[in-house]
Amino acid sequence: MNKSISKFLYTFLLLLCIFVSHSQNNVEVAYINYTIVPKSNFKEGTGNAGLQNIEGNLVTPTLTLGKKTKLNTILYYRLSQCEYDSPTLESLNLPEQLHEVKLTFLTRHTFNSNWELLLVPRLNIRSDFEAVIGNKDIFPACSAIAMHTSNTETKFKWGFGLNYNNDFGKNSVIPILAFGFSNEKMRFNSYLPNNAIIVFLPNKKIEYGFGYSTDATLVHVNTNNAVEYIRTLNFHINPTFSYNVASNVWLNLKAGYVVRRNFDLYTSNFETPSSSFENKLKASMFVQMGVSLRSKQ
């Protein structure tokens, strides 16, 4: 096994043992996923590219700040293994391993029985880790969403807000529409335009559903040429399946299509050095397998 993956698994399991023992809410407090996106050809030019990644996520216990504010800290790490089979890309000496470390503060403030504010600042470090981490490796982001709960239908929520990020490009601001519904038979959550999922709950052991998600990342890389950033954009559409194997441990599976795959290279000014540096990949299947831990009530 790759040394980077081994270190990640060891650290993740250690943190898992520390945090999950203190969790009190009936939520998913940790997960680890492995994803494979097979090689697919570029729409223009020659060659192909593939992707594998392993990721882990931990949610710390809820902190109550006063009577109306709650805070959770979320720790996330992803190691991406890129595979290039393209004369153009191989000549650029691009890194094969990309890292993402993310620290998120999920803050929920309740104004009254109808309205609450979700404030979600995030600090992302994305790099090939081939040099000392600097300002170019740090990508801040923040979401602010006002959520409304109806007096007549308390299981349904809707909201609106804004998201600032450095994922799609430099300093992007995107409007958000949020919807949520849950009962004993199903749950639905969406943060448009980024993602949406519906899950059906036939019994306590099985869950299945369907969803889509947009995975956009901008990563700083250290090369000996004009390329300083790699931006990837993957648009996933897939069914989902989860099975409760024991206690609060769940096995999760996603298998579907990456219908849009962009692979872009940028200079320090976030510009494309030449037309040959911007690439779009053909659609490809993907598989994601993982295990999650949900806290008991």
52-62 pLDDT, tens per residue? 999 999 999 99
Contact 191, 165 (CB under 8 A): no
Mean pLDDT score across all residues of the chain: 87
Residue of higher predicted confidence among 258 and 151 = 258
pLDDT for the residue 24: 38
pLDDT for the residue 23: 39
Q: Please give the backbone phi and psi of residue 5, each rounded to the nearest 5 degrees, phi first.
A: -65, -40
Over residues 152-173, the mean pLDDT reads 88
pLDDT grade for 276, boundaries at 50, 70 and 90: low
pLDDT for the residue 152: 84
Question: Residues of the chain with pLDDT > 90: what percent?
Answer: 60
pLDDT grade for 270, boundaries at 50, 70 and 90: confident
Residue of higher predicted confidence among 165 and 170 = 165
Give the C-alpha separation, 274 to 68, whole Å: 52
pLDDT for the residue 85: 84
56-83 pLDDT, tens per residue? 999 999 999 988 999 999 999 999 999 8
pLDDT for the residue 19: 45
Specify the pairing of strand 206-220 against strand 156-165.
unpaired
Contact 286, 238 (CB under 8 A): yes
Residue of higher predicted confidence among 153 and 38 = 38
* Upstream peptide bond of 193 is cis (omega within 30 degrees of 0): yes
Query: In the predicted model, is pLDDT for residue 191 greater than 60?
Result: yes
Specify the pairing of strand 115-127 against strand 138-149.
antiparallel
Query: Beta strands of 60-200 (E only): which ranges?
Result: 63-65, 69-85, 97-110, 115-127, 138-149, 156-165, 172-182, 186-192, 195-200
pLDDT for the residue 267: 85
Query: In the predicted model, is pLDDT for residue 30 greater than 90?
Result: yes
Query: Where do runs of H (alpha helix) occur along the chain?
Result: 3-20, 87-90
Residue of higher predicted confidence among 34 and 25 = 34
